[in-house]
Each structure stands twice: as C-alpha cells, then as structure tokens.
Structure 1
C-alpha cells in the first residue's frame, strides 16, 4: 500500500479510510450485481466479456452504456464511442487530482487507475486537494466490490431476473446524492451543483447518452477555480 501512497497532506488513518469506503463498496457491489445480471441476459455480450470489462475498465456508467448499445443490436464501434464519451468526465477529474499525487510515473499511473467518482469524492479535501491514501484505499475496495458484484450477477442472473424489479437501479442515484451533499458547503459548490444539474436536464432530451454528463461536468470548473 505504501508503494502507492505518497502525500504531502496529513492523511487519515487506514482504519478511517476503510470505514468511509466500505459503505460505498456495498452500494457499488450491488450495482455490479445489476450489471452482471443484465450482461447475463444479453447473449451478444457474454459472461466472459462482462467480467473482463469490469476488471479492465472499472467504469460502471461506461459499461452500462456499452451493454445498452450491444443489447439493442448495435455494433462494437458505437458501443466503444458511448463508453469513451461517458468517461471523458475523468479528464477534469484527473486534472483536479494530479497535484495531490506524487512519485514516479508508475506510481502515479497505478493511483490514477483507482480514480472513480466515489474515490474522488471521498478523498477530496478543502482547498482543492486530495488525500492520496483515502483515494487508493477507497479505490481498491470499490474495485474489488465492482468485480465481485459483476461475478455474482453473472452467476445468479437467471434467478434474480430484472434488477429493476428489485430496485437495484436506484442504488447509484442514491449514492451520488449522498456523495454530493457533504460538499455543498459553499456558495460556489452549490452554484456548481445547480448549474450542472440544469445543464444536464436541459440537454437530456436532445443529445446522445453521455453528452449531458460531460456538459454538466464543466460546471465543476467553477468549483476548481481559486
């Protein structure tokens, strides 16, 4: 773990980091089950592809977008483009985290693989900085939960049926709301959230999947300005 973590910020103890990440891991695992169930019911996708994608990509929204395109009879290229479009939000996220990561290229590269929406949110600190230890620990827990959840969904897909009937599709919106609220402490943060929400809602009826998210993420630049 120490090979991945090097920060000039006072870091939370490992136990505290785990305590923050485990509840998120449970929700992410549930969402992973949902992905696995849907993938198991999509013959054109297949269990092996779903499990490999979860292990190699580790990006829930992009994976669901890819699965949706494939399930609708789409080809590989549109599916890949949908995933890339959704993951473009990691450009501003990566830019915001970069100053808080230290060490050589390999260490920073490995740390970057653990940056997802949840690990980014829980590792955020005042002044636009990030706790590298929390980022890494949370990222590892979330990664294991996501891959394990996918595997469970693939195995139990036939028994569980449509995950929407169980309410599993509501897990992620609830999680993102829980991540957002603690950061709404300043007018600038509230402005970022409101503007981002308005942009997403305005574009949703007229643009392809992923575009509203990318456009809304631009509102975060307000919060990043110092």
Structure 2
C-alpha cells in the first residue's frame, strides 16, 4: 500500500509532522469503526418498532436521518409517551453538532462541490473521528469514505433486520436492547477521555442526565446534559485565570525586591 510522502499536505497545522500511515491501516481502522457501530442498528430497529413506529418509518429514519444519537433520542422520547413534535425537536438539537463537524471537515477534506451533498449525509461522530485521526488529507478522505459507506450500509441493513425481528423478540425493554446503541457510543468515547477536563465534562453530563431524568419530560435531560461542556470550560477558564493572576502578582513582588537573595532597596 502507498504511504504518505514528504510532499503530502498535513492536516495538522504546526508541530512535528505526523507519522505516515498506509492505506491498508486506514481502511482497517475505518472498517472496524463502521462494523462496530453499524451492528447497533439492529438495536435501533427493534427499539423503534417497539416504540410504535412502522417498518417504513423505522427504515426511513435510518436512510434519511442517519445519525444514531438523534434516532435513539427520537424513538426513546416516543416510547416514553412524549409528544411527537417535542421528540423531533430534541432529536434535531442532538443532531446539530453534525453541522459543526461539517465546518471542520469541509476544510480538511476539500471535496468537489458535486460530491459535497452526498458527503454531508455521512458527516457523523464516527466518520469525523476517523477522518481527524489521519495524518494527511488523502488518508483522511479514505478514512471518511470507508467509514461512511460501511456504517451507512450496515446500519440500514441491521435496522431493517431489527424492525422485522421485533415481533419475534417481544418486549424490547426486557432484553435491554434500547440501551445497546448508547452503550456502543460510550464504549467508543471512553478511550478518548484522556484529560481531566474531558473526564469532568463526561461525568457532569452523566450526573445531569440521570439527575434530571425523573423531573423533566422525555428527551429534555439529554439536551440539559449538553450544558456540561460550557460549564466545565467556564470553570476551567476561571482556574487558569486565577493561576495567571497569582503568577503575575508573584512576579511583581520579585521585581520590587530585585533578584533572589538580594536586599530590597
């Protein structure tokens, strides 16, 4: 497999050059993500059918919406007895993050205008993560394309199978399949939580979601959990500001007294 040459443009500005990565390695990583997440479409199909949606409605959601978090938020709210408009609004706001992914990927991938509408359908968490993990534009395009195609095909096939098998399985809540999709996303997200700030954000989001679940309508706790990110960033910024302020005062004191060990004049 060809590897990135020294003349290939790097997708990361500044800093040391990223290590070259073979096409085969990129494809393997992309297939792994696509297959792992795509299989959870079965859980969505079962949950959607158990929520009262028809086979056509369930398959249409996966074909047209194609963002697992929003799809699970929608059917979860409907299953809990929520208003369809409220459920749709919640799913919409959960999916707005993909617009921000698109802004970053449009610069990274630099696709032709005719290709962009098709690529926009595949702008989701997994394709964005795989694309951003690559060392240059060419491998980013490969990772994005392979992940998107694998996940789209497998997600829709397993959605159909799940919806068809919902009647045979029976009560989906007894099997716990409604938690399979979120569990997959958490399993993919957990290894990425490396810094203290990221872990604090995740922990606060869980506390907000679970704490507000008994008192807010279905779908709203998920939206409220999103407030964890700005809250943690605000607190982190305050701590950094306090640290710089203390450091500045310390420096001023040294300036008045001269060098360490020297009597102040």
TM over 0.5: yes
1:194 is matched with 199
Query: Which one of the candidate residues 203, 211, 214 is aligned to 2:223?
Result: 211
Contact residue 27 and residue 146 of structure 2 kept, 8 A: yes
Contact residue 93 and residue 223 of structure 2 kept, 8 A: yes
2:92 is matched with 84
Deviations 1:195-226 (A, max 9, x none): 32133134322362332453345579x9xxxx
Contact residue 40 and residue 157 of structure 1 kept, 8 A: yes
SS of residue in 1 equivalent to 2:161: helix
Deviations 1:112-171 (A, max 9, x none): 321211122222237998812201210111111111110010111122234555554345
Listed as ranges, the gaps of 5+ residues in structure 2 are: 1-7, 12-19, 237-265
1:48 is matched with 56
Q: Which of structures 1 and 2 has the bigger CA Rg?
A: 2
2:168 is matched with 159
Contact residue 89 and residue 217 of structure 1 kept, 8 A: no
TM-score between the two structures when normalised by the length of structure 1: 0.75
TM-score between the two structures when normalised by the length of structure 2: 0.66
- Cα gap change, 1:13 to 1:115, in 2 (>3 Å): farther
- Cα gap change, 1:128 to 1:67, in 2 (>3 Å): farther
Listed as ranges, the gaps of 5+ residues in structure 1 are: 1-6
1:27 aligns with 2:36: yes
Q: Which has the higher contact order (CA 8 A, sep 6+)?
A: 1
